[in-house]
Structure 1
């Protein structure tokens, strides 16, 4: 059985975690520095508040009436949206970033370790046009990585606006022909199972809570086990890779390990553990758990 791993992306000139603490993080995305909430950063900040205020081009403040929503306090000169590039391990992508009312900006930088993994695994598959399914796909970093490697990609998300954002990222990256599906992920995989469809690559990044386009309720702890059991039948039996990421406070990597081994049995070339980012002071900010395995 593989040992638990801690993974962080290689140096990325367009992104930097500057500092984290007091339930916030200070990050640079391209030309702009942003300050926003981070529930895992329970320790003290390394930099004084004055440095945060001086460096940040925009700071997110939560709405007192909502635990999720808020607003950005912007300094003059910030252009919203803007583009950042990503170039690593054969990948050359571009992403549109924007300041959303949910504090998100359009990418999760820690996922860069999975983008390069996806690219390498698609390239290694002895299949002319591997089929890859990306569920809960958000703005499509994983979809772009698979497509640039030559895969036929199906991108599933329940939010139409997010699909539009993903399409803009595809076009900005000079790619085309990703299949977009606006649907509840559970409904989609059940239908694919009934049809007997399979994929060489499965990518899952489910939220802790969510709603489908028709109000379908998703609760990670209640629905993940059943979803993974369905995914077993969707994965090609000979040439394959699988990735799942979870960002939910209190959701242990050991829980995910138990689920994966119970659902999939023998897992070749398995890797599992936590994703994290280093700030300038070498504090490690945990940003979710992952599990991945492949046939090659």
Structure 2
């Protein structure tokens, strides 16, 4: 606010800041591409509006007064925030284009991300996608990855992450496995063959929750172990035993009856679906567009 109670022209902060940064009206005019007279006029009007002297000329350069130093510090924040806001809007409004490099785990990548990349390329013909599916945690910065999809329980890191959805875990088996004995309590699992997924942190320990019976923690013994979730699904479909698998991976098998849910009244902990970015000021339009499509896909699957 000015001494008269009116708002001053914020554009004048740009002229004032350029003078302080360069220490000269002449160099400020060169930086801004305007005349020295215009810079001088704008700074003079700013001083008049504020009611304080902001600059003082020495023999070698122009220095800020005490009031000028204080205003310049605030100018830097104001102009930086304005620049960030402009940059974000410009990025959001730009057309997605270029190569989008994505990494995702094998199970979620095959069932959700891979089909989504086809829809993405069809919607944005100026984009190309390089999809890397692996259960290893790839460093997005070192491997020049634009977007990492992480599923499960996210570990802390210096990267920026956003939770965009969640998934349920189901205990499943082929119908023939439970034909003679369908478990009614978590403890009953011990008498049936179990398929362990060693890609999990602790594949043999499970916490079940029942609406009225409370919580049960059990530990199973593996009849067979595999190191990827899709492999656990393949063994389960081949009647190799019971296994805990994510809902997005078994929805077709459950709908067709190829697999059945075991202990459907008992819930297992749900996991998160995250998008992880390298730390940067702005998200490229191609990244923003793909994440929006992923969120829409997740919402469609939960409605």
Greater C-alpha radius of gyration: 2
More relative contact order in 1 or in 2 (CA 8 Å, sep 6+)?
2
In proportion to residue count, which structure has more strand? 1
Is TM (by shorter chain) over 0.5?
A: no
What's the TM-score, normalizing by structure 1?
0.25
In proportion to residue count, which structure has more helix? 2
What's the TM-score, normalizing by structure 2?
0.25
